Amino acid sequence: MQKKLILDTHLLNITVNRLCQQLIENHGNFEDTAIIGLQPKGIYLAEMIHDKLEKDTGTKIDLGYLDTTFFRDDFRRRDTPVKANATKVPFIIENKNVVLIDDVLYTGRSVRAAMDAMIAFGRPKKVELLVLVNRKYSRQLPIEPDYIGKDVNTMDFQKVLVELEAQGFKDNKIWLINKESK
């Protein structure tokens, strides 16, 4: 297995800062905006961005976590059952701007499932997507992010691995991994 470092801790911090500045430019004081991290891995990035935005703006911003397990189109096609994660959206999203956050955008199926799951909490005014890594040329659905940390050209045999301190890793890093062929 070969690993190539895409972003180290320093560049990842710069990237998160840029994403936060873009959000501030588009959402101002976040009065009508909520941030929702996609379970399981998008919640760590959502928390990083949420904390930085609250610090930089001095504003309380709604933060939630959304599990899409039962809304995925491949849910019943798996050999072993998938364990669901917690959904925690302690606010109504009716007529709010919602920023969905995930670590990696690959096929777009998780985001489609998230949009279906989100409707249980109201009809948002607008939905935007923020991803740390946009895997180019791999989409199976017509879904594109509004905010991108880094575009990465990948092949199907490759995987993007996001390691964040909040997940228990020593440093924040993003790797491109060549999976071993079977």
Could you report the per-residue pLDDT of 17-59, keeping only the tens digit for each? Answer: 999 999 999 999 999 999 999 999 999 999 999 999 999 999 9
Residue entry with tokens 């998230």: 114
Six-digit token string for 164: 């964040």
53 within 8 A of 18, measured Cβ to Cβ: no
**In the predicted model, is pLDDT for residue 182 greater than 70?**
no
**In the predicted model, is pLDDT for residue 76 greater than 70?**
no
72: confidence class by pLDDT, cuts 50, 70, 90: low
What class is the 3-178 domain? alpha beta
Q: Average pLDDT of 147-155?
A: 95
Q: Which of 134, 170, 160 is nearest to 19 (CA)?
A: 134
The larger pLDDT score, comparing residue 81 to residue 33, is at 33
71: confidence class by pLDDT, cuts 50, 70, 90: confident
Six-digit token string for 114: 């998230």
Predicted TM-score of the model (pTM): 0.92
The larger pLDDT score, comparing residue 81 to residue 101, is at 101
Using DSSP's 3-state secondary structure scheme, residue 153 falls into: strand
